[in-house]
Amino acid sequence: MASLTENQPVPRGHGARGVLFFFLAIALLIAGFGGGVITMWFVGPQVRQAAEAFFPALRAQTEKQQALEERIDILRQAWAILDREFIAPEKLDPDKMIHGAAAGMVSALGDPHTMFVEPVSAAIMDEDMQGSFEGIGATVEMVEGKLTIVRPLPNSPAYHAGLLAGDIILAVDDEPLEGKTLMEAIRLIRGPAGTVVRLLVQRKGVEEPFLVTVTRAKVELPNYEAKMLDGQVAYLQLSEFNAIAPQQVHSALRDLLAQNPVGLILDLRDNPGGYLHVAVQVASEFLPLNTVVLQEAQRDQPIQVYRVRTKGLATEIPLVVLVNGGSASASEIVAGAIQEAKRGTLIGAKTYGKGSVQNTHTLSDGSSLRVTIAKWLLPSGRGLDGDGLVPDIEVPFTLDDAAAHRDPQLERAVAFLLHQE
């Protein structure tokens, strides 16, 4: 029997391939080692730097979170002490206390536009943004701490009940309004359609306060009004920069300009603002292409410049913009862009002065948190917070004017367009 030690032919190639694979493995090992050395030589510093940056940042974030937890625990301690020791336990209302703590935390930032809004007030604000509400239908504001009717809305329950501009509401259903905020007062006045509310009213020239009974109804908020005035002057009033405002403005301008007016009045009085992108779209109807509308400064972001990108309908017609102390935010964006571009003349009273953008978050109980996320600047770079726009021609509008159904600001705008003086 033959054995492997005998003269048997050895299969050719197996031994050579084994040797070849052996040396190839050695070569790959050396190449891999060398590549690793080279890679570490070039990449190592970046890896080390990334690690050195990452771990301290992670550690700092963890420490920040721990510090935050410790501070939140202070609220828990305060709550426990009050719950255990406060002399009137029936006054420990968890909702009021939580809302008060949230409101206090937000107010500590010192930004009047970053605010915590309780559920009922948040619902009122959301309702207004939908374009309708159930109530009496009157524009109101606090004047020296008193709820004052600015004007009843046309064909509203307030209008039919005989309420007038300048009337002061002292009480609602026997509940005094003294010391209450604007939202608290509105919350008492609004209610389901068909229900009755009794208002204690004080009127100038009437010696004693008197009761007015109003049946609430669903009130539609007209967002715009377009008409031709005497002298062939076009008039467009916009109440709010909501989602449908660009289409409404475009359609209204098309109809007005078809009547060949000698000039146009854009009325932004008492317009509290709305969406930023809508303001840019509306401004683009009056400004030439590529004109700067505003600049926006966001947190940790470069300044963003918004320009006119579409051809507007009313870029050449003589233009007046009416403004007052109720013109704010998006209204000031549009009016300010028109003024600085010297495209039109501002007439009226100084605007509110709100140069910031808020993002609204709805919280789990229906309350909301409005957070300032950006500042916006006029095309010149000037901010408006607290300053407002000063009209080119200042014309006051008093409560006496409103009560007498006079509008000196509108009259001045018409005269300016007709006579350029």
SS (H, E, C) the chain: CCCCCCCCCCCCCHHHHHHHHHHHHHHHHHHHHHHHHHHHHHHHHHHHHHHHHHHHHHHHHHHHHHHHHHHHHHHHHHHHHHHHHCCCHHHCCHHHHHHHHHHHHHHCCCCCCCEEECHHHHHHHHHHHCCEEEECCEEEEEECCEEEEEEECCCCHHHHCCCCCCCEEEEECCEECCCCCHHHHHHHHCCCCCCEEEEEEECCCCCCCEEEEEECEEEECCCEEEEEECCCEEEEEECCECCCHHHHHHHHHHHHHCCCCCEEEEECCCCCCECHHHHHHHHCCCCCCCCEEEEEEECCCCCEEEECCCCCCCCCCCEEEEECCCCCCHHHHHHHHHHHCCCCEEEECCCCCCCEEEEEEECCCCCEEEEEEEEEECCCCCECCCCCCCCCEECCCCHHHHHCCCCHHHHHHHHHHHHCC
Residues 138/190, Cβ–Cβ less than 8 Å: no
44 pLDDT above the threshold of 70:
no
Confidence of residue 318 (pLDDT cuts 50, 70, 90): very high
How far apart, in whole angstroms, are the C-alpha atoms of residue 214 and residue 192? 12
Confidence of residue 13 (pLDDT cuts 50, 70, 90): very low
Confidence of residue 149 (pLDDT cuts 50, 70, 90): very high
CATH class of 224-419: alpha beta
pLDDT at 45: 55
Confidence of residue 182 (pLDDT cuts 50, 70, 90): confident
Which pTM was predicted? 0.65
Query: Which of 33-47, 50-64, 84-98 comes out lowest in average pLDDT?
Result: 33-47
pLDDT at 72: 86
Q: Where in the chain is the domain with CATH 3.90.226.10?
A: 224-419
How far apart, in whole angstroms, are the C-alpha atoms of residue 2 and residue 18? 26
Residue-wise pLDDT for 328-359, tens only, equals 999 999 999 999 999 999 999 999 999 888 88
Q: Where in the chain is the domain with CATH 2.30.42.10?
A: 133-220
Residues 150/141, Cβ–Cβ less than 8 Å: yes
3.40.50.300, 2.30.42.10, 1.10.1060.10, 3.40.50.150: CATH of 133-220: 2.30.42.10
pLDDT at 7: 32
